[in-house]
Amino acid sequence: MSTSSSDVESIDPDRGNRREPPQLSQENVTPFFPTSPAYPPPQVPVSPVLTLGAFWPVHAPQVQSVLDAGAIRFVTSGRCAIALALRQMAVGPGDMVLVPAYHCASMIEPVIDAGATPIFYRINPDTSIDLKDITSKITSTTKVLLAVNYFGFPQNLSMIRTFCNANRLQFLEDCAHCFLGEHDGKPVGSFGDYAIASSMKFYPIYEGGCLISAHHPLKQLKLESGGLGFEAKVAFNALEISFGYGRLQVLKALLWLPMLLKNAAWNMVKARNSATTTTSFAPSSSEGGFGFDPAWINKRSSVYSRVVMKLVSRRRIGALRRKNYLKLLAALGSLPHSRPLFPNLPEGVYPWVFPLWTANSKPVFDSLKNSGVPIVRFGEFLWPGIDSSICQTSVDLSRNVLSFSCHQEITDDELDWIIRSVQDALHAHGERQ
């Protein structure tokens, strides 16, 4: 079941297993985070992989999404969409942007890149934003409030909209975990002045993010092609990841020779390029880590990603994610030394992952990663300086929440294996010593 692709170098912390320590430089504003031990590749795909089933129309309820929210531009990642949103909102040096203390670095880097200052605010244990703390942090230079619909569960978006209007703040709605869903009958993404999404977390694509606005036109935004190398790489990588997880085996057999030739040509190009340039064909947001590369901000998402997003069944994504989440909740929701972060799945919510708070997370995480269980640790590394004096809840969630994949391409057997593995790990290591 494990992936064996030659070009799939390393995988995002929210997507996979390996994490390179980013270096601080002028081009890459990511601070240095500790290196995690190398774990074996996940046995089950962390994010959706391409299957034939993805295109099957299913009889399931209609699903609202950010695609219904307003004007939309397709870029290569959520972090590039944040950078574009900040530009649209005229954020620059001297401006303050309110960001949650529970975050990942790729949300903060675009703020630094814009020359603005991130001001970290508290969240509550249920991940709702702490408006009292936010109010105490607003000054005359505060321009934007960024709020995250964590793990696919929308914030009280109407209330945040009203709050921003009352405080003359622009609202950036972060739907990176929440591509699908609604609040008060309106699609997620329609409450912010601008919203961003990370399509690669929900669709079987190798790169993809969206900038959305229900309130402003986006036509004037000029985007450029990522080039032929980029277009080829993202399509081949999506196929290879899928083949590596045992999907599309007939296509794999048919493409055996072309893939062999492609790998030979690819290795030659890579060898030649590495001697002359360090430029990659795809953004590092697809290849692993928190890296933010301003060169990709204006690049359009690939033709492959945009076509796949048009063709796959959104109803199927929504229905299967809810089904898998409910199965995980039933099996893992009342185990000792742990608790689900969201013990209910309201109508209209389509989760990104199944987040589980664990009392003794380190050995549980190590043991599951070593078995190849697909786990995401959103917010594992907080921005330097963020500690319990700023937000105790964020530090607790950062340390103790392990999230398990519940995407639409996990098979029933794979989900059963994940459940058994988590149950075993919690029984063996769950109790805090």
Ligand X SMILES: Cc1ncc(COP(=O)(O)O)c(C=O)c1O
Task: Report the interface residues with ligand X, using CB under 6 A.
Answer: 14, 77-79, 104, 106-107, 148, 174, 176-177, 198, 209, 285, 378
- d(CA 158, CA 109) in angstroms, rounded, equals 27
Nearest Cα residue to 404 out of 19, 5, 43:
43
Closest separation in Å from C-beta 290 to ligand X: 8
Minimum distance from residue 177 beta carbon to ligand X (Å)? 6
Min dist CB 388 to ligand X, Å, is 21
Instruction: Please count the residues of the chain.
Output: 433
Compare residues 16 and 78 and give the one whose CB is closer to ligand X: 78
- State in angstroms the smallest separation of the CB of 254 from ligand X: 31
What is the helix, strand, coil percentage profile of the chain, to 5? Answer: 40, 15, 45
- Supply the minimum distance, in Å, between the C-beta of residue 89 and ligand X: 16
User: Is residue 415 classed as helix, strand or coil in its secondary structure?
Assistant: helix
Query: Measured between alpha carbons, how far apart are the two ends of the chain, in Å?
Result: 34
State which residue has the least CB distance to ligand X: 78
Q: At what angle do helices 314-332 and 412-429 cross, to 10 degrees?
A: 30
Give least dist CB 427 to ligand X, A.
Answer: 30
The nearer residue to ligand X, 308 or 426, going by C-beta atoms, is 308
Q: Side by side, which strands form the sheet with 401-405?
A: 338-340, 353-358, 401-405, 375-376
Alpha helices (runs of H) in 61-156, residue ranges in sequence order: 78-88, 105-113, 131-137
Distance CA 28, CA 110 (A): 10
Catalogue the E-assigned strands of 114-208: 117-121, 142-148, 170-175, 182-183, 186-187, 194-197
Contact 335, 420 (CB under 8 A): no
Q: Would you say 145 or 426 has its CB closer to ligand X?
A: 145
Of 130 and 251, CB closest to ligand X:
130
Beta carbons within 8 Å of 166's beta carbon, 6+ residues apart: none
Q: Which is nearer to ligand X, 285 or 324 (CB)?
A: 285
- For the bound state, the minimum distance from the C-beta of residue 292 to ligand X, rounded and expressed in Å, comes to 8
Which CB, 350 or 417, lies closer to ligand X?
A: 350
Q: How far is the CB of 286 from ligand X (least distance, A)?
A: 9
Name the residue type at position 307.
V
